[in-house]
């Protein structure tokens, strides 16, 4: 039984801690994210969401504990990079490239041909709303929302097994938010992609994610399977907290 559970877990966190200036910004004794789960990460500013993402992507070193992706420590093995894509912020974009060049480049890292990427990109025509492709602009000249679109699509397009998005709904317009929700839901339903999304929008998160992790001061204080009452429960929590 124990064995079966381990094989099924995509991310396993053990006794993870990160300390800045004596403050524990992330403190997670144990967390398991199973393959195919869609997990929403919520919490007020400073709760430690982005720090947790960065540790999962091996961008900062934990002070204690470890993160296993498919049973391998992300800090010691590079294997996770072969099935993980992510978009946290503009620091992930090469801003002097055109969007097309960026897609070709990230695609080439996954051995996808240009033709393949061009055909993939047609799936996103609606999502891009005519503002990304063939506009003759570098990424740095795009608006924040459009930059986010480039980053999100670049990570979706590789068909990863594990997808991490930090506040993908921020900065983008309502129609795009709705399209993005649909895309993420489809991906996790059809291809069993494990997805971790953080957001400040409780509506979106409860709609997309089947499991919600609520962070406060570095700790995961709630771990709930989404049901019809979840949104109300979360709203109550946040309104009391202020």
Partner 1 sequence: MTLTFLSQQWKAFWRSQNKGKSLAMRIVMGILVLYLLLNVLFVAFFMDKILMKTFPDQDILQTFNSFIIYYFLMDLIMRFQLQELPTLSIRPYLHLPISKNQIVNYLSITSLATAFNLTPFLLTIPFLVKVLIPQHGLGAFWGYMGCILGLTLFNHFFSLWLKRKVNLNAFWMLAFFGLLLIIWALEFYFNLISLSNISKDFFNTIISESYICVIAILLAVVMFMINHSYLKSNLYLDELQTSKTSVKSSTEIPYLDRFGVVGDLAANELKLILRNKRPRSVLMMCIMFMFYGLIFYNNPKYDGYGHIVFCGMFMTGIFIINYGQFMFSWQSAHFDGILSSRIQPEDFFKSKFLLFDVFSTFCFLLTIPYVYFGWKVLIVHFVMYVWNLGVNTILVLYFANQNYKRIDLTKGGSFNWEGVGASQWILSIPLMITPFLIYLPLSYFDYPEVGLAAIAIIGIISIFSREFWLRKLVSIFRSKRYAIAEGFRNQ
Instruction: Select 22 or 91, whichever has its Cβ closest to partner 1.
Output: 91
Residue 67 C-beta: closest distance to partner 1, Å: 13
Instruction: Select 162 or 212, whichever has its Cβ closest to partner 1.
Output: 162
Rounded to whole angstroms, the Cα distance separating 143 from 168 reads: 14
Residue 140 C-beta: closest distance to partner 1, Å: 8
Structure tokens at 169: 């709904």
The neighbour count for residue 237, using CB atoms within 10 Å, is 15
DSSP letter string over 27-55?
Answer: EEEEEEEETT-EEEEE--TTSSHHHHHHH
The residues that touch partner 1, with contacts defined as CB under 8 A, are 54, 57-61, 78, 81-82, 84, 86, 88-98, 100-101, 105-106, 108-110, 136-138, 141
Residue 137 C-beta: closest distance to partner 1, Å: 6
Strands of the sheet containing 211-216, edge to edge, are: 84-87, 162-166, 194-198, 38-42, 211-216, 219-225
Residue 70 C-beta: closest distance to partner 1, Å: 15
Instruction: Select 108 or 123, whichever has its Cβ closest to partner 1.
Output: 108
Rounded to whole angstroms, the Cα distance separating 78 from 72 reads: 9
Residue 2 C-beta: closest distance to partner 1, Å: 31
Instruction: Select 99 or 218, whichever has its Cβ closest to partner 1.
Output: 99
Strand residue runs (E) in the chain:
9-20, 23-34, 38-42, 64-69, 72-73, 84-87, 162-166, 194-198, 211-216, 219-225
| Cβ burial, residue 130 (10 Å; 0-12/13-18/19+) | exposed
Residue 4 C-beta: closest distance to partner 1, Å: 29
Rounded to whole angstroms, the Cα distance separating 194 from 11 reads: 9
Instruction: Select 61 or 190, whichever has its Cβ closest to partner 1.
Output: 61
Instruction: Select 22 or 174, whichever has its Cβ closest to partner 1.
Output: 22
């Amino acid at each position: 039984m124990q064995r079966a559970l381990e094989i099924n877990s995509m991310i396993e966190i053990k006794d993870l801690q990160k300390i800045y200036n004596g403050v524990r910004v992330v403190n997670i004794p144990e967390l398991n994210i199973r393959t195919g789960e869609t997990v929403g990460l919520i919490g007020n500013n400073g709760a430690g969401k982005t720090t947790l993402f960065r540790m999962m992507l091996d961008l900062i070193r934990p002070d204690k504990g470890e993160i296993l992706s498919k049973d391998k420590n992300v800090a010691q093995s590079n294997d996770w990079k072969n099935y993980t894509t992510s978009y946290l912020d503009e620091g992930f974009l090469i801003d002097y490239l055109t969007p097309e060049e960026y897609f070709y480049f990230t695609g080439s890292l996954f051995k996808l041909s240009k033709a393949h990427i061009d055909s993939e990109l047609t799936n996103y025509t609606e999502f891009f709303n005519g503002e990304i492709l063939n506009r003759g602009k570098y990424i740095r000249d795009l608006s924040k929302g459009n930059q986010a679109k480039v980053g999100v699509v670049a990570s979706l397009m590789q068909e990863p097994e594990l997808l991490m998005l930090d506040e993908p709904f921020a900065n983008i317009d309502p129609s795009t938010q709705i399209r993005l929700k649909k895309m993420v839901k489809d991906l996790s339903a059809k291809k069993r992609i494990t997805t971790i999304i953080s957001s400040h929008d409780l509506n979106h998160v409860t709609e997309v994610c089947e499991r919600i992790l609520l962070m406060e001061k570095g700790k995961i204080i709630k771990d709930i399977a989404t049901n019809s009452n979840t949104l109300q429960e979360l709203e109550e929590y946040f309104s009391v907290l202020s």
